């Protein structure tokens, strides 16, 4: 490992301090999710929900000025300069996104950062939704929040991961990881296989890449390579697949998210997107609300269309990329993998300490799951 110079350390610390508090996922989490859902159902799906968010306004100009004033040209290594330049430019876009949560501008800032579903994404989604088989019903005795907490805790402890677990009553997702904190939805009610998939997704990837990034000599990899969302979510779905936990119903939910984002962009009407899921695809109203809320949160969050595309990209990389595991070194994007590999080879970064359990010990999927997962293009 090459010693990190004072110039690199100082710039890294300044960058980390400048972007502290800019967390998009936390910012778009509605404070009144359950109340808004109850009101929407009481209106018989006729009155669009009004979500409330934490005030995320900040001095955009001052934050951006601090970022652009960071002396990246003094780093002494071309790859380090490129890496920090890309991270800084990425956070300039994130600042606009963060500052516009709950306003009409948010969706445009998301489009600039995440993009939108293309025709191939829509075709993949419709392919999955036309396959025979329903979304599925819960098991007779689904796991509640306490049981999910127990499963998640056992998974993290088994692999020796530093973590904390809390139950949260304001979440849309059943579980998620923020930093090293595993959050479980108070209202979680999910099948065992889904809970196992969540463990591999949230802990096996999102927690693992956080822990690996914190073990790096520089903290910028904890902030993340530009546009790492597709890569990180793609690896998370890939690990569900490698663990034998991904199912056609799960893939259909990801497909519905693509169509919900597409509808949000075209229709800009929550109840219309919700009704489309309800009537065209016979989705349970509770699931339809969750999928629709994910797409409309913050004012229009396009991130959800990336999961299927991410699975395709990561399955291909897993099977063909010799340095695939370096994607776990932190919040790395596939596009940055050659750059990260060079920085590891030079000793500026370290190879990942933790490898996702599903990648270390993949199971043999049945032929149907294997065919369907590889058929996504």
Q: Quick check: is 353 in a domain?
A: yes
Are 297 and 194 spatial neighbours (Cβ–Cβ below 8 Å)?
Answer: no
Find the Cα–Cα–Cα–Cα dihedral 167, 304, 129, 279, rounded to 10°.
80
Are 135 and 250 spatial neighbours (Cβ–Cβ below 8 Å)?
Answer: no
Q: How far apart are CA 232 and CA 180, in angstroms?
A: 16
pTM: 0.94
Q: Which domain holds residue 161?
A: 6-375
Q: Quick check: is 116 in a domain?
A: yes
Strand partners, 143: 190
Work out how many domains the chain is built from and give that number: 1
Q: Quick check: is 327 in a domain?
A: yes
Q: Quick check: is 73 in a domain?
A: yes
pLDDT, one tens digit for every residue, the chain (377 residues): 677 889 999 999 999 999 998 999 999 999 999 999 999 999 999 999 999 999 888 899 999 999 999 999 989 899 999 999 999 999 999 999 999 999 999 999 999 999 999 999 999 999 999 998 777 654 457 899 999 999 999 999 999 999 999 999 888 999 999 999 999 999 999 999 999 999 999 999 999 999 999 999 999 999 988 889 999 999 999 999 999 998 899 999 999 999 999 999 999 999 999 999 999 999 999 999 999 999 999 999 999 999 999 999 999 999 999 999 999 999 999 999 999 999 999 999 999 999 999 999 999 988 888 999 999 98
Q: Structure tokens of 128?
A: 């999955």
Q: How far apart are CA 209 and CA 99, in angstroms?
A: 26
Q: Quick check: is 260 in a domain?
A: yes
Three-class SS of residue 248? helix
Q: How far apart are CA 36 and CA 283, in angstroms?
A: 19
Q: Structure tokens of 48?
A: 């669009």
Q: Quick check: is 1 in a domain?
A: no
Are 242 and 358 spatial neighbours (Cβ–Cβ below 8 Å)?
Answer: yes
pLDDT given for residue 138 in this prediction: 47
Q: Quick check: is 320 in a domain?
A: yes
- End-to-end, the C-alpha distance of the chain in Å comes to 39
pLDDT given for residue 107 in this prediction: 97
């Amino acid at each position: 490992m090459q010693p990190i110079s004072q110039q690199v350390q100082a710039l890294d610390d300044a960058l980390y301090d400048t972007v502290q508090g800019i967390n998009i996922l936390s910012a778009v989490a509605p404070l009144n999710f359950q109340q808004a859902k109850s009101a929407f159902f009481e209106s018989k799906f006729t009155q669009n929900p009004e979500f409330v968010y934490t005030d995320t306004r900040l001095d955009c100009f001052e934050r951006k000025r601090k970022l652009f004033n960071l002396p990246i040209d003094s780093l002494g290594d071309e790859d380090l300069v490129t890496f920090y330049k890309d991270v800084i430019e990425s956070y300039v876009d994130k600042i606009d996104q963060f500052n516009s949560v709950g306003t009409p501008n948010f969706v445009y800032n998301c489009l600039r950062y995440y993009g939108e579903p293309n025709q191939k994404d829509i075709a993949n989604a419709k392919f999955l939704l036309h396959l025979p088989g329903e979304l599925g019903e819960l098991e007779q005795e689904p796991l509640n929040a306490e049981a999910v907490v127990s499963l998640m805790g056992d998974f993290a402890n088994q692999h020796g991961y530093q973590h904390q677990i809390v139950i949260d009553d304001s979440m849309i997702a059943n579980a998620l990881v923020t930093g090293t904190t595993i959050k479980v939805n108070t209202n979680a009610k999910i099948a065992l296989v889904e809970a196992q998939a969540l463990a591999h997704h949230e802990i096996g990837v999102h927690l693992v890449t956080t822990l690996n990034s914190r073990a790096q000599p520089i903290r910028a990899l904890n902030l993340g390579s530009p546009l790492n969302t597709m890569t990180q979510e793609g690896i998370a779905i890939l690990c569900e697949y490698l663990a034998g936990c991904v199912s056609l119903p799960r893939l259909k939910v990801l497909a519905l998210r693509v169509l919900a984002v597409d509808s949000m962009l075209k229709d800009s009407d929550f109840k219309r997107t919700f009704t489309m899921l309800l009537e065209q695809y016979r989705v349970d109203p509770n699931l339809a609300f969750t999928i629709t809320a994910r797409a409309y949160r913050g004012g229009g969050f396009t991130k959800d269309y990336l999961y299927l595309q991410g699975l395709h990209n990561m399955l291909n990389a897993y099977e063909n990329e010799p340095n695939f595991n370096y994607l776990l070194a932190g919040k790395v994007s596939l596009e940055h993998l050659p750059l990260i590999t060079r920085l590891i080879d030079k000793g500026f970064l370290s190879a990942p300490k933790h490898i996702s359990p599903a990648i270390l010990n993949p199971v043999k999927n049945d032929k149907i799951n294997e065919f369907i997962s590889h058929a996504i293009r």
